[in-house]
Structure 1
Amino acid sequence: MAVLGRPNVGKSTLFNRLVGRQRAITDPTPGVTRDVLEGELDLGGPRVRLLDTGGYTLGRGELEREVSRRSLAIAGSCDLTLALVEAAGLTREDQALFERLRRLPGFPDKVVLVVNKVDGPKQELELGEFQALGFSRLAPVSAAHGRGIAELKRMIREALEREGGTGAVKPEAAEPEGAEAEPAETEPVGAADVLPSAAPQGAGARKTGAELRLAIIGKPNTGKSTLLNRLLGEERALVSESPGTTRDPIGGTLRYRGRTLKVLDTAGIRRKSRVSEPVEYYSVNRAIQSIEEADLVVLLMDVREGVSDQDKKIASLAVRAGRGVILALNKVDLLAKTKGELRGIEERVRFDFPMMDFAPLVALSASRGTGVDRLLAEVLEVGRQLNHQVPTGKLNLAVKRWVAEYALPVRGKNVKIRYVTQTGANPVRFLFFVNSLRQFPQRYLQYLKNRIRADLGFDRVPVDISLRES
């Protein structure tokens, strides 16, 4: 089911009200929602997928036309569309939208006209111009205050039952950008390996062994939306040369080698001094929140620009949260074909990123599909290591061996490691019981981390060590 209307009629407010949480950014600025957001509507029966579209506008800009085209295509593929207007009156854009909706198969039975900002009984008596439009279902609501939402849900349930739909969407088939990929070291992902299927993007606690949550993070215009579309095999995110096109975290779910991956594309993260619009400020905060909600992060960089200070800050946020990180160099198809150029860039990235020496580094072209298969293979391996558990007996035997090979560098008091246990997976945490916290040399912790990674199967993930005196 889709929510469709002109800019600034309250589509995102209605979407948030129906799904029961703030998934979409709401702001008085028209056109804040550009990509397709997805949530789950609870009607007390089968799960209903609700899509918040970018909306319909008569604007002639390239981005505006693309948003409108996609929104109408989504409405045409849904079991039901909520056509949203404002109680203040119809506009030229509303009328143009209705003309397009009337051409859709199943009109008017597959459309509910929702009149928003009806804040009281007096306004309900002034809906004559909307009732004359020929829609079989009309629902006056106040999305901001929740008025009329229960009746709207009842109307939705009846409409879906009558149409025999479940709210499942049949996405518009999209030709992947750069479908004819050039030969590469790794083949582009094929349909046999990746089976896109949409699913709600709600947050929720991570579970060991459950689906892997992957956040695509990076500076603006590094190709995050192109990569998301490539992974899902459909146009879920708008792709534009203009930085900052993506504002809400958007995503979907895919299957790869028997595992379920939930992918989020987020707004580009800039330096705070460059974040001026309130909408962009909120978008960046949501992107940072996506790091907290993810299991692992793909830090996407433009291969021509290399590592920036902002990339280092993003990686630091992810590591402090215990998330796996994959460094991805995108747009390798734009490099000159000089032999060894990519190798030199990769070496430079490693040199500039010493704190991330454990993180996998993948070169790819999201537009052509080159390297994406290797990226997904690394995602699975990082996910496996994040959820890896070491038996306590094996862990203590290993620590005893490490201490024998490199003794604790202390003077005076005999500092000892009494016992070790793994206290967490995803994020990976270990607790060392020692006889003296004050005397324990902090530089020895790095040695222990290195040995844990090298000997116990955590060479691609961040490892946290805590000390406790006993």
Structure 2
Amino acid sequence: MAKPLVAIVGRPNVGKSTLFNKLVGKRIAIVEDTPGVTRDRIYAEVEWLNQKFTLIDTGGIEPESEDIILKQMKRQAQIAIETADVIVFMVDGKEGLTGSDIEVAEMLRKVNKPVVLVVNKIDNLKLEDNKYEFYNLGIGEPITISAALSLGLGDMLDEIVRHFEKVEEDEEDEALIKVTIVGKPNVGKSSLLNRLTGEERAIVSDIPGTTRDAIDSLVEINGDKFLFIDTAGIRRKSKIKEEIEKYSVIRSLTAVDRADVCLIMIDATEGVTEQDEKIAGIAHEAGKGVIIVVNKWDVVEKDDKTMNDYTKQVRNALSFMTYAPVIYISAKTGQRIPRLIELIKYVADQNSMRIKTGVLNEVISEAVMMKQPPVEKGKALKIYYATQVSTKPPTFAFFVNDEEIVHFSYERYLENQIRQHFGFEGTPIRIVYRSKKED
């Protein structure tokens, strides 16, 4: 199941981005410079009381418009209404109730979505009584916070997660291989979906942006069950002018979250673009199985070196994703579609593979003997033991004498050793370090 989606709405300058950064800023660890992953972010994963959700900062997706502030605010609220499971309606406790706040409240009352009313900028007890005028909005009990000073955030988060639906995982759902098709518009996602499902489930046209929403297709192929999720194309921010396209971007992000395997579709006639890098970064950071699918290969003029040269270009552009297999297809002619289906099954297995602790430690011990850890801060790293703590993506915990002295190059070495012995093709690997005093 996709994580719940929570959107922060409100007129400009009430503190939406400040709250967003406060909630997610310290939780985002920059492990590597993946293009588009940590820059210009308007969404992020937040965890509270063991519940994870995706937080959207609508302040980051305001439409390019010369309209008055009220219309801009209204569009933001409309986007949130269409996409979010819970809406955080933020108002300014210092400035007080405004006509714009009333306009938003009227819109929110018309929809069947839980709304958490948050009065921001209550920086001290003297300002606490400012919340009472916001009862006039008819939205419910105002919760006072100071996003800048981190006051009241716990009570606010308690109220947010209280509205999440408790959904039990369907046992039958576990047998499905969930596949999301992502890529910029007009790359052939809908055509590929039609090939994979064997029927015209998605409208195919040459107009970028035809697919406005995510479409699920349940298919059984040779006894294996697949859930294919076609998504709206993710566009550059400069080209996003219609609110419905912003809505599609957010739905694409949630579609990636639902997937076991993401097909990153690239147009063979264009090569890897900056937008492709950003899309791949989303799937990489989400820890999904990934296959790089180069479509429209049938229209490329080729010789015996074309595929190898093209693969080098792909690897260079997506250098953070060397684990992902590359396949060349034509959704139009059906070229290599059977091979793609087999590859999806294989990558899904790799993403969910679990290694026994004893076998893992034999490999790690041998790796350390072959190459000793570098000395950092005058101290040598000692690895006591390792264990796999989760799958999807495969995540390993290494118990060491000091987690602060793990060098990035040695971490990469350990990951390469794990891949060399166990494969994990098509899936990122996560390694976490935990300090443990020597007995």
Shorter-normalised TM range = 0.5 to 0.7
Q: Contact between 1:410 and 1:440, CA under 8 Å: does it hold in 2?
A: no
Which residue identity does 1:342 align to in structure 2? Answer: M
Gaps of 5+ in 2: 6-109, 114-166
Q: Contact between 1:230 and 1:366, CA under 8 Å: does it hold in 2?
A: yes
Which residue identity does 1:369 align to in structure 2? Answer: G
- Residue in 2 that maps onto 1:413: 379
Which residue identity does 1:442 align to in structure 2? Answer: F
- SS of the aligned residue for 2:298 comes to helix
Which residue identity does 1:425 align to in structure 2? Answer: T
- Residue in 1 that maps onto 2:422: 456
| Aligned with 1:353 (options 318, 326, 342) | 318
Q: CA deviation at 1:432?
A: 0.6
- SS of the aligned residue for 2:358 comes to helix
- The reply to whether residue 426 of structure 1 matches residue 389 of structure 2 is no
Deviations 1:148-176 (A, max 9, x none): xxxxxxxxxxxxxxxxxxxxxxxxxxxxx
- Residue in 2 that maps onto 1:447: 413
Q: Contact between 2:187 and 2:265, CA under 8 Å: does it hold in 1?
A: yes
Deviations 1:371-398 (A, max 9, x none): 1111111101101111111011111111
Distance 1:214 1:431 in 2: 28
Q: Contact between 1:217 and 1:297, CA under 8 Å: does it hold in 2?
A: yes
**Higher helix proportion:** 2
Q: How do 1:28-67 and structure 2 match up within 5 A?
A: none
- The reply to whether residue 382 of structure 1 matches residue 347 of structure 2 is yes
Q: How do 1:133-152 and structure 2 match up within 5 A?
A: none
- Residue in 2 that maps onto 1:254: 219
Q: CA deviation at 1:206?
A: 9.2
- Residue in 2 that maps onto 1:272: 237
- Residue in 2 that maps onto 1:323: 288
Which residue identity does 1:426 align to in structure 2? Answer: K
Q: Contact between 2:381 and 2:406, CA under 8 Å: does it hold in 1?
A: yes
Q: How do 1:280-295 and structure 2 match up within 5 A?
A: 280-295=245-260
Q: How do 1:161-172 and structure 2 match up within 5 A?
A: none
Give the count of matched residue pairs. 274
- SS of the aligned residue for 1:418 comes to strand
Distance 2:111 2:381 in 1: 62
Distance 2:168 2:319 in 1: 32
Counterparts in 2 of 1:468 and 1:386: CA distance versus 1, 3 Å: same
- Over aligned residue pairs, what C-alpha RMSD do you find? 2.3
Counterparts in 2 of 1:452 and 1:205: CA distance versus 1, 3 Å: farther
Q: CA deviation at 1:253?
A: 1.5
Q: CA deviation at 1:204?
A: 7.7
Q: Contact between 1:209 and 1:387, CA under 8 Å: does it hold in 2?
A: no
Counterparts in 2 of 1:204 and 1:264: CA distance versus 1, 3 Å: farther
| TM-score, structure 2 as length reference | 0.59
- SS of the aligned residue for 2:416 comes to helix
Distance 2:168 2:324 in 1: 25
| Aligned with 1:302 (options 267, 272, 295) | 267
Gaps of 5+ in 1: 1-20, 23-142, 147-202
Q: Contact between 1:323 and 1:427, CA under 8 Å: does it hold in 2?
A: yes
Larger Rg over CA atoms: 1
Deviations 1:47-95 (A, max 9, x none): xxxxxxxxxxxxxxxxxxxxxxxxxxxxxxxxxxxxxxxxxxxxxxxxx
Distance 1:145 1:399 in 2: 53
Counterparts in 2 of 1:314 and 1:145: CA distance versus 1, 3 Å: closer
Distance 1:434 1:205 in 2: 35
Distance 1:375 1:459 in 2: 14
Which residue identity does 1:452 align to in structure 2? Answer: I
Distance 1:266 1:344 in 2: 29
| TM-score, structure 1 as length reference | 0.55
Q: Contact between 2:374 and 2:380, CA under 8 Å: does it hold in 1?
A: no
Which residue identity does 2:373 align to in structure 1? Answer: L
- Residue in 2 that maps onto 1:122: none
| Aligned with 1:225 (options 190, 211, 216) | 190
State the percentage of identical aligned residues: 39
Deviations 1:419-461 (A, max 9, x none): 2110111121111111112222232111111111111231321
Q: Contact between 1:217 and 1:287, CA under 8 Å: does it hold in 2?
A: yes
Which residue identity does 1:352 align to in structure 2? Answer: A
